[in-house]
Each structure stands twice: as structure tokens, then as C-alpha cells.
């Protein structure tokens, strides 16, 4: 078969999987051979044929390689023949024109078109337009200077300074009536730990060097104004330098009395140590078996016999049962005792010789008083009027106990040895003292009516001369309620003042109060401390003067550990707050942040007391009373900078569909659910002073509506088209009457993490700081051609209405801020409404922020049937790793450069921009990407999936333990974890 009779075979290379059609059958060399063949048959005698490569006599014997070599030689031949040069130029021109026509044919089909303008024109036939870019936006909280308020006009510029490149500038998009009182609002007790203090140890929030065991500390509830004093038993210093104090008794922990960590103030280090002086008790009706000394007990010991006496009071003779430091315990109760001036001493023994004559030895008076007359050698005249004692035994059943009854010495008459006989009375004995001793059962200091009169005593016990050796301690008088009286008399105070705390402490017994006044005595070194309220106390024993100390003027106030840490969980829409500013209006926009999550919402209701509010949205997860902050000076900010007004052109009322181009790149596009792509160009267009509004499609505009349509051209400029009188008004005639203001700033670069916008471009007289609690979201680049080819037809099928399940996903993909979307029908539950879940991957490959999710819900709600419940959720990204070994000929390629190219190719091929929701990962895909990189001769690749990812995926198919296919669920997207990419190279060899 001759070359010119071969039938065209366009199917050999137009097979499935290619990105374009090849309409051209042949090339310049093949067509030149055809021309040569036909000319040789028409002009066989042309001398030129001898200068050109001749074909074989039998073409069937020529191989394909030989034929191609001959065609190449024929095409390269350059004989000196004008006609042949024209023929060869004709073949070349045919090839050039054919390639051009082939390209034009491919540009006429949506799936093979590669030029932006071709895609735009093809979509225009379908009444569609390329998806524009989008500008990121975020709510920004302004912190005003204290005490200031006013309006912050729109256009306030804030910036983010990246590590490299120009600053990213955002502007506020609306005016804000701001007030410093709205800067930050907090949950109630946000800096107060609600935990009850308990136990016998307190950890302070700092280290205190001067703490001493034995001193008191006072806990003060600053909220309920309650006090509790405790004794410090020990002090420990923790490794972090803080002090831990052991106290007694333990901190009270009852419903009626308890102390919370956040409201407790710990008063430490009293400066005044005062001695209590009064009001002191003068005596007691029943002293019991014990007695407190004001001085150490010294040589007193158990078994000693002592007497307790006070001025003008009858002494008590008692045997000591036990001695506890300065406290004596007796075998017999003391009874009523006058404490003022009382002392303890050892009695003296008075030896007796004999009694008087029988007729005068013992007499009984009418009241039963027994009078005895006894003689003691020596001068004992000082005993007159004193009370004496003598040991007696009382029988009680089978037990016998020792008692010490008292006897009154009425007279003590001493007769000197040298007294003359003439002067002696009948009962006188020179050198002896006649003691008249009386006894009566009612005065013998022994309970009961036992007969304890003296019968031939050998000795008597008598008080020693002079003051007693051991003074008895008195105690502070109690008030009518049994507590200390409001006013205490103490030694002179140097530091205490009104408002100070005071603690009276005796061992573990404490009393405490806040002082209303401290009055110094001008004549004596003493002061009167008066309490604001009755003294509270703990312990119950008497306040002995010598054993008690009054501590006052605590110089240090500390807090307990974590006193400001309030971890009370918060949820729902109601929130108890600190007192709210009275001017806080309803429906004000706020940002609620807890450090790890944030939400933008509005105030829907405020309680009458101004300490509780209801939000439109639930609090973010993880909120506690301690970490939650409400920012109420919130304004929407968008990526971009406002530019001055410029003239767009002149209107002509005689022209239909007049069009102008705003030759400015990167014009801002802001969210608008009424637009087909969910965004609109941020323009303010005026025609002869009248503001015109944008519309998604002029076909939807009425004849009298002042509307214009915006489209994006291949250079990224804006094309603005106006109406024709049927669909939108024509522009009125005028010179330079079409003017436009715009903002400039768009793209993925505007999607910033929280706290990235933290600096004003220029200082503002009202603003002190900024808080960006939420990430900026919604920013997206202009739609790529490959995305246009896929999205255009599917979005067209939805007809801008969400009716079927797929319509929701198709329309969401048409939103400028969305890369991928999938829709799922959920069970209706108990309701009748249809429930749809939309899983979205936002531009940038991340799940949508709450703000973008709200935009998408509004965007789709405007296109869905009424009553459809739509829930927008984020894509679940799962990550896999790769172990790749590439083999490279190092003599031809730099292995490191090849590895870098492989890494980049893998990162791009398995990035969020390229992987679809639910798309399985095949091991062969990895080989395809790696081996398509220039310089890679061959490779080995191994997919790695950790246990957590394996459990989350739908399934992982393995062969011989090697993962071959990893299939995510429809709501997941399986992406490459570049940190888990291990790449190495080997030298290529056969």
C-alpha cells in the first residue's frame, strides 16, 4: 500500500487516560514524503530525485525504523532546487497550521482546554463563570485604653508580619461603638479556686522565710468575711521555693463553715506579742482538782503536800497527785478559790507537846463548834487567826482516802520563858504557845458531815510566814456568752491598730477577732484592744494570763497554692459572670475564648441582676470558669487595604451591556451568600453619585434595577458589565461618571492562625491592643484550570439549587473558599425534616472554621428546600508515611537534586489539593509519581500506616505484610505526612 493510500488511524494515540485529544495525523516529514511520492509519479525524469534519498523498490521490505530514518534524511536534505524548497516549506507550514488547529480544537472542549480564557468562554456558553478568589476574614477584638469609649470607624488597619515577605494587612469592615468596659468580660469567680480547703497543711503561693512554729495564722474568707485562727505546727520549704505549713486544728470543712481556696487570705507573721492583763478573774466557785501556776513548778513533785492560799482567804491543804510543767493536779478538789493573789507553798509542821487539862482541853459550843487547846513549843503566836490542818483518813465502803480538814486557830498565846510566876495565867506555860483551835464540819473544807475534830494530835500543818513561793495564775474573764469580752487589757502595743487581726493563743486554744480600736493607756504601759465583733474561739479552756499571748498586726497576707485556678467546667449557652457593664446591649457580637478554642457569637439575653447572660451559641469545648474570656469590642476584619476612588469610565445610554475593566490585581472578595460563588468583589461603585449594587447574573436583574455583574478575566482583573434595559439598567450618559472604590488583598495567604494579627498599622487614640482569638478563614486563590474543568459541568447540573443530595456537594464545591465537599443523608431521627451532613475541606486543606461553616450554611440555605436541616462538618484528614528508595545514575544527575524533586513531587501529588475525599491510596500511584521524576531510573516504595490511622481507615489491604491499598472512609482524606517520608538513593546499575 502506498503512503498516500494509508487510512488515518486516530485511535492509536487517542486512548483513555490522556489529558487531551490529538487531532493531527502526521507531521512535516511524513507529509513531505507524500509530496515527494506524488511528484515522483508525476515527474519521473526530474533530476532532483538523484539528490534525494530513494525509497526501496518494494516498500513492504522497509522496516519502521528504516522508514523513519529515511523520512528524517529527506526532511533534512537541502538541495539547491527552488521548487523543492517551496515543497518542503509547504510541508512545514502544513505542520505548523495543523498543530495550531489541533490546539484550537482542544481549546474548544472543556475537558481538554488549557487556557484560562478558553475555559471562561466555554463556561460562559453554559452561563457559568470561573470561581473567583476569596479574601480571608476574622472577628477581631479591640482592647480600648482604660476609661475610654467611642466609635472606631471602618478601615482600621492591622497587620501580620510574616518571617519573610511583605506584611499582610487586614481592615475592619464596619464601624464599632467601642467601650473600654467591654474589653474583657469574665465568668463569675474566674480568678477564685472554688475548692474547699481541707486537712492540716496549707501550701502557700510563695516562700515565706520568717514563719515559726508556735505562732498563729488567720484564714480570712474575703467573700463572706469569715475568720479562723490556727496554730503553726511546722514549716517546710518545697523544691520550688514555696512554703508548706502544717497547722492545728485542721481547716474547718462544713457546710456552715468552710474556706475556699480562691477567697481565702492567709494572715501571717504577727508583729505584736502582747501579754494579756485583763479583765482577769478574781476567783472561781469550783476550781476542780487542778491549778495553774504563773511560774514554773520548780521542785514540786507528786506526793508533796502543799497549801493554796489567797489574800484574806482560807487556805486549802492538798496533796499533789501529778505535776505537768506549771500545772498541778491534786488528789482532792480545791472547791471555791480566790485566784487574785493566790499562791502555792509548802506548809510548815507545828509540833505539839500536849493538850490542856482535861477540863479545858475540849469544849463544844452551841453551834457545834469544837474548841481545842493545845500547846506548841516556841513562839507560834503568828498562827493566831490562821487556818491549820491535820491529816485524817475517811472510810468510804472498803476504801480509805486521805483528807486534810482545816482548823481555825482562834488564839495563839505565847508565854516567854522568863515570865514571872506572878504574871502567869492558869493556862499559861512558859516557853510554849497555847493554841486555841476550832473545828466545825461546815468549815473544815471536807465535804460531808464526818467527825474530823482533833484527838490528841502530835503535829499540825500551818501556813509558812510570808508570801507563797509559787504564784497561782488567774485567767481572763469570759463574757455573758462564754467567750472573751469585747475589750481586752494587754501590755503596751507598738504596731496594732484598728482593722488589724488579733489572736489570743494558749497552747492549742485560740480566740480571734478583728480589732475595732486600740487604745493606749497614757499612764501605764498597757493598751485596750476592742474587737469589732464578739471573739470567736476554739478550745474551751480558761485563758490563763501567764500561758496566753495576744498576737496582733499580722504583717503578711498570702494566698494558698493555685488560689486563682478555677477549673469548674462550663458548657451550654447560659453563663454566670462578674457584674456586667450596664451599657452592654443585647445582640452585641462577642468572641468567647478559652485558650484552646473560641467561638464568635452574640449576647441574646442578660439577667436583671446583670450577672448572668445567654449566648446565641454554646460555649467552646474545654471552657472553665478560669480560662473563659468574653471580648465584647468585636468587629469583622477582612484581608485587604482600601484604595482611593478611581474613575472607571464614562457611561453611554445608547449602548447595551456596557463593560469596563478594573485593571487592578488581587481585588478583595468578601463573603456573600447570594452570589453564585459565595463571595462578591469588595467594590463600592457609583454612577453619577448613585450607588449601584452587584448581582450574580444580570439575567436575574429587572429593567429598572441599578445592578452590575462582575467577572474575572485571565489576567486577574475585574470585568464589570452593566445592563441592557431588559436585564438591568443601562448606564446613563456622562463623562467619567462611573467611579469605583475597592479593597485590595486576596488569597490563601490571608488564612492566618490565631494571634497572628497583633499590631496596628498606625496608632489609634482609643485602642490599646488587639486579640485575634479565631483564625482568619475563607481566603482562597483563583480557581485553577484543572479545577474549572471538573467543577464547571457538575455545578451547572445543580442549577444553583440544592434539591438532590449531590447538589449540596456540587454547590459547596462552587464556593470560592471550598476545595472539596461531600454530602451525606443522615437519619431523620424523631423529626420529619431531612437531615444533610456536608463534609468540607476548606481552601488550604483544613476543616472549615466555625465562621466559614456558618457562611456555607447560609450559602446553601438560600438554595435548599425549606425545612432541610444542614450540618457542616470538617474533613477528617488521615496521614500516611512512605519509605522510598530511588536509583539514580550519579554520573548524569545529582542524587540530592533528584531526591528534592521526588520529595516535591510526592508532596504535591498527595496534597489536599490533589487528593479527593474517600480516595483510596494504591501503592502503584506512588511508583507512578516517583518514577515520573527526571533522573529516577527505578524505585522501591513502601506505604507506612501507624496503628491509630489504620484503625481510623475503612480498610488496609496487605500482601505479605506489605500495605498495597489504603482506603479511607467517605468522610476522610488520606494525605502524605511529609515528616514521615523517608527518602534515600542508590546508584543505578544493571
Strand order in the sheet with 185-186: 185-186, 629-631, 589-593, 598-606, 612-615, 574-576
d(CA 983, CA 887): 11
Return the SS3 of 854.
Answer: helix
Strand partners, 413: 434
- Spell out the residues 6+ positions from residue 823 whose beta carbon is closer than 8 angstroms to its own: 805, 806, 807, 808, 809, 812, 836, 837, 838, 839
Average the pLDDT over each of 20-34, 148-162, 573-587 and give the range with the smallest value.
Answer: 20-34
Residue 9 pLDDT: 58
Q: What nine digits make up the cell of 62?
A: 522497509
pLDDT at 683 over 90: yes
Per-residue pLDDT at 358 exceeds 80: no
Q: Is the pLDDT of residue 801 over 90?
A: no
How much is the pLDDT for 939?
A: 92
Instruction: Output the pLDDT for position 475.
Output: 82
Are the C-beta atoms of residues 870 and 833 closer than 8 Å to each other?
A: no
Tell me what percent of the residues of the chain surpass a pLDDT of 70. 95
How far apart CA 295 and CA 300 sit, in angstroms, is 12
Instruction: Yes or no: say if 531 and 513 are a contact pair by the CB < 8 Å rule.
Output: yes
Of 203, 266, 201, 272, the C-alpha closest to 240 is 203
Q: What is the pLDDT of residue 13?
A: 61
Number of other residues whose CB lies within 10 A of the CB of residue 511: 24
Is 476 in contact with 279 (CB distance < 8 Å)?
yes
How far is the C-alpha of 865 from the C-alpha of 846, rounded, in Å? 28
Minimum mean pLDDT range among 355-359, 747-751, 980-984: 355-359
Contact 412, 380 (CB under 8 A): yes
Burial of residue 501 (CB within 10 Å: 0-12, 13-18, 19+) is: buried
Position 123 pLDDT exceeds 80: no
Q: Above 60 in pLDDT, residue 5?
A: no
Chain centre to alpha carbon of residue 527: 51
Q: Tell which CATH architecture fits domain 180-189+570-634.
A: Beta Barrel (2.40)
Whole-angstrom distance, CA of residue 639 vs CA of residue 159: 9
Average pLDDT over residues 723-750: 94
Please check the confidence at residue 632 and state whether its pLDDT lies above 50: yes
Positions of E strands within 843-875 = 869-874
Note whether 838 and 823 are within 8 A (CB). Answer: yes
Instruction: Decide if 400 contacts 413 (C-beta within 8 A).
Output: no
Domain residue spans of the chain:
3-107, 180-189+570-634, 201-279+475-558, 283-345, 352-456, 643-742, 877-987
Report phi then psi at 28, rounded to 5. Answer: -60, -40
pLDDT of 1: 41
Per mean pLDDT, which of 79-83, 160-164, 535-539, 648-652 is the most reliable?
Answer: 648-652
Per DSSP, the three-state class of 904 is helix
Q: Distance from CA of residue 313 to its chain's centroid? A: 73
Q: What per-residue confidence (pLDDT) applies to 837? A: 92
What percent of the chain shows pLDDT beyond 90?
Answer: 54
In the predicted model, is pLDDT for residue 670 greater than 90? yes
Residue 950 CA to residue 878 CA, distance in Å, equals 9
Our measurement of the distance from residue 679's CA atom to the centroid of its chain's CA atoms, rounded to an integer in Å, reads 35
905, pLDDT greater than 90: yes
Task: Please tell me the predicted confidence (pLDDT) of residue 798.
Answer: 61
Residue 746 has pLDDT above 80, yes or no: yes
Strand 343-345, strand 470-471: pairing: antiparallel
Tell whether the model's pLDDT for residue 359 goes beyond 50.
no
Task: Indicate if the pLDDT at residue 861 is higher than 50.
Answer: yes
Task: Using DSSP, state whether 19 is helix, strand or coil.
Answer: coil
Is the pLDDT higher at 339 or at 2?
339
pLDDT band with cut points at 50, 70 and 90 for residue 361: low
Q: 127 pLDDT exceeds 80?
A: no
673 forms beta bridges with: none
Residue 445 has pLDDT above 60, yes or no: yes
The number of residues making up the chain comes to 990
Distance CA 207, CA 559 (A): 11
Over residues 670-683, the mean pLDDT reads 90
**Model confidence band, residue 161 (pLDDT cutoffs 50, 70, 90):** very high
**Cα(120)–Cα(669) distance, integer angstroms:** 19
Element (H, E) at 942: strand 936-944
The chain-wide mean pLDDT, for the chain, equals 89
pTM: 0.75
pLDDT at position 403: 87
- Strand, helix or coil for residue 882: strand
Above 70 in pLDDT, residue 480? no
Q: State residue 803's pLDDT score.
A: 85
What was the pLDDT predicted at 720? 94
- Please report which confidence band the pLDDT of residue 623 belongs to, taking 50, 70 and 90 as the band edges: very high
pLDDT digits (tens, 9 = 90+) for 810-851: 888 888 899 999 999 988 877 777 889 999 999 888 899 888
Among the residue ranges 224-238, 287-301, 508-522, the one predicted with the least confidence is: 287-301
**pLDDT tens-digit series, residues 927-965:** 999 999 999 999 999 999 999 999 999 999 999 889 999
- Of the spans 321-335, 537-551, 801-815, 895-909, which averages the highest pLDDT? 895-909
Amino acid at each position: 500500500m502506498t503512503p498516500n493510500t494509508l487510512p488515518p488511524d486516530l485511535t492509536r494515540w487517542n486512548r483513555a487516560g490522556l489529558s487531551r485529544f490529538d487531532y493531527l495525523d502526521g507531521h512535516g516529514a511524513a507529509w513531505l514524503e507524500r509530496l515527494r511520492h506524488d511528484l515522483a509519479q508525476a515527474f519521473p525524469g526530474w533530476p532532483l530525485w538523484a539528490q534525494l534519498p530513494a525509497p526501496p523498490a518494494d516498500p513492504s521490505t522497509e522496516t519502521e525504523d528504516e522508514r523513519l530514518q529515511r523520512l528524517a534524511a529527506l526532511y533534512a536534505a537541502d538541495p539547491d532546487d527552488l521548487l523543492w524548497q517551496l515543497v518542503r516549506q509547504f510541508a512545514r507550514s502544513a505542520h505548523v497550521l495543523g498543530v495550531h488547529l489541533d490546539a484550537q480544537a482542544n481549546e474548544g472542549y472543556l475537558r481538554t482546554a488549557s487556557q484560562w480564557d478558553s475555559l471562561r468562554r466555554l463556561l460562559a456558553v453554559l452561563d457559568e463563570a470561573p470561581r473567583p478568589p476569596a479574601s480571608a476574614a476574622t472577628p477581631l477584638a479591640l482592647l480600648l485604653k482604660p476609661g475610654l469609649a467611642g466609635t472606631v470607624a471602618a478601615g482600621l488597619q492591622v497587620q501580620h508580619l510574616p518571617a519573610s515577605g511583605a506584611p499582610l494587612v487586614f481592615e475592619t469592615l464596619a464601624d464599632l461603638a467601642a467601650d473600654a468596659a467591654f474589653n474583657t468580660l469574665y465568668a463569675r469567680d474566674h480568678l477564685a479556686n472554688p475548692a474547699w480547703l481541707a486537712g492540716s497543711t496549707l501550701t502557700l503561693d510563695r516562700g515565706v522565710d520568717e514563719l515559726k512554729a508556735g505562732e498563729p495564722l488567720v484564714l480570712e474568707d474575703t467573700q463572706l468575711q469569715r475568720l479562723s485562727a490556727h496554730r503553726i505546727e511546722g514549716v517546710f520549704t518545697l523544691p520550688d521555693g514555696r512554703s508548706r505549713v502544717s497547722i492545728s486544728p485542721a481547716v474547718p470543712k462544713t457546710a456552715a463553715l468552710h474556706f475556699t481556696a480562691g477567697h481565702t487570705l492567709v494572715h501571717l507573721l504577727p508583729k505584736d506579742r502582747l501579754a494579756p492583763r485583763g479583765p482577769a478573774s478574781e476567783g472561781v466557785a469550783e476550781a476542780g482538782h487542778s491549778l495553774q501556776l504563773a511560774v514554773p513548778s520548780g521542785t514540786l513533785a507528786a506526793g508533796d503536800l502543799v497549801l493554796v492560799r489567797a489574800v484574806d482567804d482560807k487556805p486549802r491543804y492538798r496533796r499533789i497527785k501529778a505535776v505537768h510543767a506549771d500545772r498541778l493536779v491534786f488528789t482532792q478538789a480545791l472547791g471555791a478559790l480566790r485566784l487574785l493573789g493566790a499562791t502555792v507553798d509548802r506548809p510548815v509542821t507545828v509540833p505539839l507537846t500536849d493538850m490542856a487539862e482535861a477540863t479545858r482541853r475540849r469544849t463544844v459550843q452551841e453551834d457545834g463548834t469544837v474548841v481545842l487547846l493545845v500547846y506548841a513549843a516556841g513562839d507560834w503566836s503568828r498562827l493566831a487567826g490562821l487556818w491549820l490542818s491535820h491529816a485524817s483518813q475517811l472510810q468510804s465502803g472498803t476504801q480509805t482516802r486521805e483528807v486534810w480538814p482545816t482548823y481555825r486557830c482562834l488564839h495563839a498565846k505565847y508565854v516567854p520563858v522568863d515570865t514571872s510566876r506572878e504574871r502567869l495565867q492558869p493556862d499559861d506555860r512558859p516557853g510554849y504557845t497555847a493554841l486555841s483551835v476550832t473545828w466545825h464540819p461546815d468549815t473544815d473544807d471536807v465535804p460531808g458531815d464526818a467527825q474530823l475534830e482533833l484527838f490528841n494530835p502530835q503535829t499540825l500543818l500551818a501556813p509558812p510566814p510570808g508570801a507563797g513561793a509559787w504564784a497561782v495564775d488567774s485567767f481572763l474573764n469570759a463574757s455573758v456568752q462564754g467567750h472573751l469580752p469585747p475589750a481586752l487589757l494587754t501590755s503596751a502595743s507598738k504596731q496594732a491598730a484598728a482593722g488589724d487581726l488579733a489572736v489570743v493563743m494558749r497552747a492549742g486554744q485560740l480566740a480571734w477577732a478583728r480589732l475595732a480600736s486600740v487604745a493606749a493607756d497614757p499612764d501605764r504601759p498597757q493598751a485596750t484592744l476592742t474587737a469589732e465583733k464578739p471573739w470567736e474561739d476554739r478550745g474551751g479552756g480558761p485563758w490563763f494570763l501567764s500561758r496566753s499571748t495576744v498576737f496582733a498586726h499580722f504583717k503578711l497576707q498570702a494566698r494558698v497554692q493555685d488560689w486563682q485556678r478555677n477549673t469548674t467546667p462550663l458548657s451550654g449557652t447560659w453563663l454566670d459572670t462578674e457584674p456586667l457593664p450596664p451599657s452592654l446591649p443585647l445582640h452585641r457580637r462577642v468572641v468567647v475564648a478559652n485558650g484552646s478554642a473560641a467561638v464568635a457569637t452574640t449576647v441574646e439575653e442578660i439577667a436583671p441582676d446583670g450577672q448572668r447572660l445567654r449566648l446565641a451559641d454554646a460555649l467552646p469545648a474545654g471552657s472553665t470558669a478560669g480560662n473563659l474570656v468574653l471580648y465584647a469590642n468585636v468587629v469583622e476584619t477582612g484581608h485587604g487595604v482600601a484604595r482611593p476612588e478611581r474613575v472607571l469610565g464614562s457611561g453611554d445610554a445608547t449602548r447595551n451591556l456596557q463593560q469596563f475593566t478594573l485593571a487592578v490585581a488581587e481585588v478583595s472578595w468578601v463573603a456573600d451568600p447570594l452570589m453564585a460563588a459565595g463571595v462578591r468583589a469588595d467594590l463600592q461603585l457609583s454612577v453619577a453619585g448613585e450607588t449601584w449594587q452587584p448581582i450574580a447574573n444580570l439575567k436575574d436583574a429587572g429593567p429598572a434595577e441599578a445592578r452590575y455583574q462582575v467577572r474575572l478575566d485571565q489576567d486577574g482583573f475585574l470585568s464589570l458589565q452593566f445592563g441592557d434595559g431588559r436585564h438591568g439598567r443601562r448606564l446613563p450618559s456622562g463623562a467619567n461618571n462611573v467611579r469605583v472604590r475597592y479593597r485590595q488583598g486576596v488569597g490563601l495567604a490571608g488564612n492566618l492562625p490565631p494571634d497572628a494579627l497583633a499590631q496596628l498599622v498606625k496608632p489609634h487614640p482609643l485602642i490599646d491592643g488587639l486579640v485575634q482569638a479565631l483564625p482568619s478563614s475563607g481566603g482562597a486563590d483563583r480557581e485553577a484550570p484543572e479545577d474549572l474543568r471538573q467543577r464547571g459541568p457538575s455545578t451547572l447540573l445543580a442549577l444553583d439549587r440544592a434539591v438532590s443530595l449531590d447538589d449540596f456537594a456540587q454547590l459547596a464545591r462552587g464556593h470560592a473558599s471550598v476545595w472539596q465537599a461531600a454530602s451525606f443523608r443522615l437519619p431523620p431521627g424523631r423529626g420529619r425534616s431531612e437531615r444533610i451532613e456536608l463534609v468540607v475541606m476548606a481552601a488550604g486543606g483544613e476543616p472549615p472554621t466555625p465562621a466559614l461553616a456558618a457562611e456555607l450554611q447560609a450559602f446553601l440555605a438560600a438554595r435548599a428546600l425549606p425545612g432541610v436541616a444542614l450540618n457542616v462538618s470538617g474533613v477528617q484528614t488521615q496521614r500516611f508515611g512512605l519509605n522510598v528508595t530511588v536509583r539514580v545514575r550519579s554520573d548524569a544527575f545529582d542524587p540530592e537534586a533528584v531526591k528534592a524533586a521526588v520529595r516535591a513531587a510526592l508532596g504535591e501529588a498527595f496534597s489536599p489539593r490533589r487528593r479527593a475525599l474517600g480516595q483510596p491510596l494504591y501503592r502503584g500511584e506512588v511508583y507512578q509519581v516517583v518514577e515520573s521524576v527526571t533522573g529516577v531510573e527505578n524505585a522501591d516504595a513502601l506505604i507506612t500506616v501507624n496503628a491509630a490511622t489504620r484503625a481510623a481507615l475503612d480498610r488496609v489491604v496487605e500482601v505479605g505484610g506489605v500495605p498495597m491499598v489504603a482506603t479511607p472512609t467517605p468522610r476522610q482524606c488520606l494525605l502524605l505526612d511529609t515528616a514521615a517520608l523517608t527518602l534515600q538513593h542508590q546508584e543505578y546499575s544493571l
